[in-house]
C-alpha cells in the first residue's frame, strides 16, 4: 500500500583593549609542543570515567538547539547551517583564559551548571570529544582542529598555552599583526587548507588592534550507506519556498529500507539515513505550516526520542540535491545567549595574558554543506544500485522533502550533533 506525506500529515574598541577575533569554520561536503613542565590545573582524565564526556555531549545538543533558535530569529526565512560542536568547542577553549564573570558567562552559556559540574570535568569532557574526532576511519573523514594566531609581542600565560595544546590539541602560531592584510591572508590560507578549499575568506577586516585570532574548523565528508543512483535523480522538481513561491531543484530518489517514524505529537516525519561509518543524518519534515511548532520543541530529549523510536521500513524517498552555505557574526548573537562580557570592555581574559587587556572583537562562523547522490566523489562508482520494486512488493511510505525541512548530522558513537540546519530554499547557495 502506497501512502504519501499528505495522507499521513495534512566597533571600534577602547584603545586600552586589544581584539581577539574568534572564528569558527566548517565544511561538510556530503555527496552523500606543549611544554613538558608547564603547570596545569586540569588533571589527565581517567579512561574509566565517561560521565563528564557524556554530559558534554548532551549539553552540546541542547546548546545546538538554543543557538539554532537565535539564528532563525536573526535570519528569518533563510537557510540555516552551522556546527554547534565547532562553536561550543571554541567557546570552551576560550574559557580556559577567562576569569570571573567572563568565564562564568561562557560556561553557563554552553549550558553547564557550575555548582554541579566542576570546570575541570567540563574540559575533560571536551578533551575526550576532541580526541574522538581525531581517530582515523576508512569510511568517513571527520577532522576538527583549533588554531591560535597570536600577536608575536603578546606573552601568553604558560598555563593557558599548555592547556589549549593538551586539552584541545590546538596549534599556536606567532603572527605579525602589524600588517593586517598579510596576517589575514595567512589565517585564511590555513582554514582553506584544513577544509580542503571549501571555506574561504573566513577572516575579513583585521585591524591593528587585533592581538589574537582563534579558529576552529571541522571538515566532514562521507558516503551514504545506501547511495542514491544518479540516473534516477529528477533534473527539475518543484520545491515550495514559503507559502506560495516554488523553485525547481534536482531531486534524488530511491526506494529502500530506512529507519523512519511519524511523530504524531509534533506533526512531522523523521527519516534517518546512515553514512558508512558512525555518522547519521536525520531529515525532519513537518506538516505544512507546522515548522515553527516543531522548532519550539527541539531539544536533546526530542532527538533521543526520535533515535529510539524510529523503525526500519520500506520508504520511497525524494531528497533535493543541493549546496548551501551560511555565515554568522556570532558577536551579535552570543551576548543574547548570556555571553556578554567577552565582547565588551568588561572582558577578563587575564588567564591568557596579564600584560594586555583583551576582549573578543569579532566571532565569525562560516559553514558549507553539499548533499548529493553517492558520496565524497560525485562520479564514484557504487556497488549499491537503485532497484525498482514490483507492484506486488512490500508496502511503503512516500516521503518527499519538497518544502522546508530540518537536517541534522550526528554520530552514533558520541551521541552529539556535528551539524544542524534548515533548508528553506535549496537553490540559494
- Same domain assignment for residues 265 and 134: no
pLDDT at 218: 84
Q: Is residue 428 part of a domain?
A: no
Q: Is residue 185 part of a domain?
A: yes
Of 335, 353, 369, which residue constitutes the final position of a domain?
Answer: 369
**To 5 degrees, how large is the angle CA 113–CA 117–CA 122?**
105
- Same domain assignment for residues 65 and 176: yes
pLDDT at 373: 82
- Same domain assignment for residues 349 and 403: no
Confirm if 293 and 286 have CB atoms less than 8 A apart.
yes
Q: Is residue 42 part of a domain?
A: yes
CATH number of domain containing 393? 2.30.39.10
Using 50 as the pLDDT threshold, list the residues of the chain that sit under it. 1-17, 28-50, 375-392
190 by DSSP, 3-state: which?
helix
What residues make up the domain containing 337?
Answer: 17-222+324-369
Residue that the C-alpha cell 566523489 belongs to? 377
pLDDT at 89: 92
- Same domain assignment for residues 306 and 250: yes
Q: How many domains does the chain have?
A: 2
pLDDT at 107: 96
- Same domain assignment for residues 34 and 143: yes
pLDDT at 26: 53
- Same domain assignment for residues 364 and 385: no
- Same domain assignment for residues 204 and 254: no
- Same domain assignment for residues 212 and 301: no
CATH number of domain containing 137? 3.30.497.10
Q: Cβ neighbours of residue 51 under 8 Å, at least 6 residues apart?
A: 121
pLDDT at 24: 56
pLDDT at 377: 26
Q: Is residue 33 part of a domain?
A: yes
- Same domain assignment for residues 104 and 231: no
- Same domain assignment for residues 141 and 272: no
- Same domain assignment for residues 161 and 49: yes
pLDDT at 406: 97
| Residue among 33, 61, 46, 29 at smallest CA distance from 303 | 61
Q: Is residue 429 part of a domain?
A: no
- Same domain assignment for residues 316 and 328: no
Amino acid at each position: 500500500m502506497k501512502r504519501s506525506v499528505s495522507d499521513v500529515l495534512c566597533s571600534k574598541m577602547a584603545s586600552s583593549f586589544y581584539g581577539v577575533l574568534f572564528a569558527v569554520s566548517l565544511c561538510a561536503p556530503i555527496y552523500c609542543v606543549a611544554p613538558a613542565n608547564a603547570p596545569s590545573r586540569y588533571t589527565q582524565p581517567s579512561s574509566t570515567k565517561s560521565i563528564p564526556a557524556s554530559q558534554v555531549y548532551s549539553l552540546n545538543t541542547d546548546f545546538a538547539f538554543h543557538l539554532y533558535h537565535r539564528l532563525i530569529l536573526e535570519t528569518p526565512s533563510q537557510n540555516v547551517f552551522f556546527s554547534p560542536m565547532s562553536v561550543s568547542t571554541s567557546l570552551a577553549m576560550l574559557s580556559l583564559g577567562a576569569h570571573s564573570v567572563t568565564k562564568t558567562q561562557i560556561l553557563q552559556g554552553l549550558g553547564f551548571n557550575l555548582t554541579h559540574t566542576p570546570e575541570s570535568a567540563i574540559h575533560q569532557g571536551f578533551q575526550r570529544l576532541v580526541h574522538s574526532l581525531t581517530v582515523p576511519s576508512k569510511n568517513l573523514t571527520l577532522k576538527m582542529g583549533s588554531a591560535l594566531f597570536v600577536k608575536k609581542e603578546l606573552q601568553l600565560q604558560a598555563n593557558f598555552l599548555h592547556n589549549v595544546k593538551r586539552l584541545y590539541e590546538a596549534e599556536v602560531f606567532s603572527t605579525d599583526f602589524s600588517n593586517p592584510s598579510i596576517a589575514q591572508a595567512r589565517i585564511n590560507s590555513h582554514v582553506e587548507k584544513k577544509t580542503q578549499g571549501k571555506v574561504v575568506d573566513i577572516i575579513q577586516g583585521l585591524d591593528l588592534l587585533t592581538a589574537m585570532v582563534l579558529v576552529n574548523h571541522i571538515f566532514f565528508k562521507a558516503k551514504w550507506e545506501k547511495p542514491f543512483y544518479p540516473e534516477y535523480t529528477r533534473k527539475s522538481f518543484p520545491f515550495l519556498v514559503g507559502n506560495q513561491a516554488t523553485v525547481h531543484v534536482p531531486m534524488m530518489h530511491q526506494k529502500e529500507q530506512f529507519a523512519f517514524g511519524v511523530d504524531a505529537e509534533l506533526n512531522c516525519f523523521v527519516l534517518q539515513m546512515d553514512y558508512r561509518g558512525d555518522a547519521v543524518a536525520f531529515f525532519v519534515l513537518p506538516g505544512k505550516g507546522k515548522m515553527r511548532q516543531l522548532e519550539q520543541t527541539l531539544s536533546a530529549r526530542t532527538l533521543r526520542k526520535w533515535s529510539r523510536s524510529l523503525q526500519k521500513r520500506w520508504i520511497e524517498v525524494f531528497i533535493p540535491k543541493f549546496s548551501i552555505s551560511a555565515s554568522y557574526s556570532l558577536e551579535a548573537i552570543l551576548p543574547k545567549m548570556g555571553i556578554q562580557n567577552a565582547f565588551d570592555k568588561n572582558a577578563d581574559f587575564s588567564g591568557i595574558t596579564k600584560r594586555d587587556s583583551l576582549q573578543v572583537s569579532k566571532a565569525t562562523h562560516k559553514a558549507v554543506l553539499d548533499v548529493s547522490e553517492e558520496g565524497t566523489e560525485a562520479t564514484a562508482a557504487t556497488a549499491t544500485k537503485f532497484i525498482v520494486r514490483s507492484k506486488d512488493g512490500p508496502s511503503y511510505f512516500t516521503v518527499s522533502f519538497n518544502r522546508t525541512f530540518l537536517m541534522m548530522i550526528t554520530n552514533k558513537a558520541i551521541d552529539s550533533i556535528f551539524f544542524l540546519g534548515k533548508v528553506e530554499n535549496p537553490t540559494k547557495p
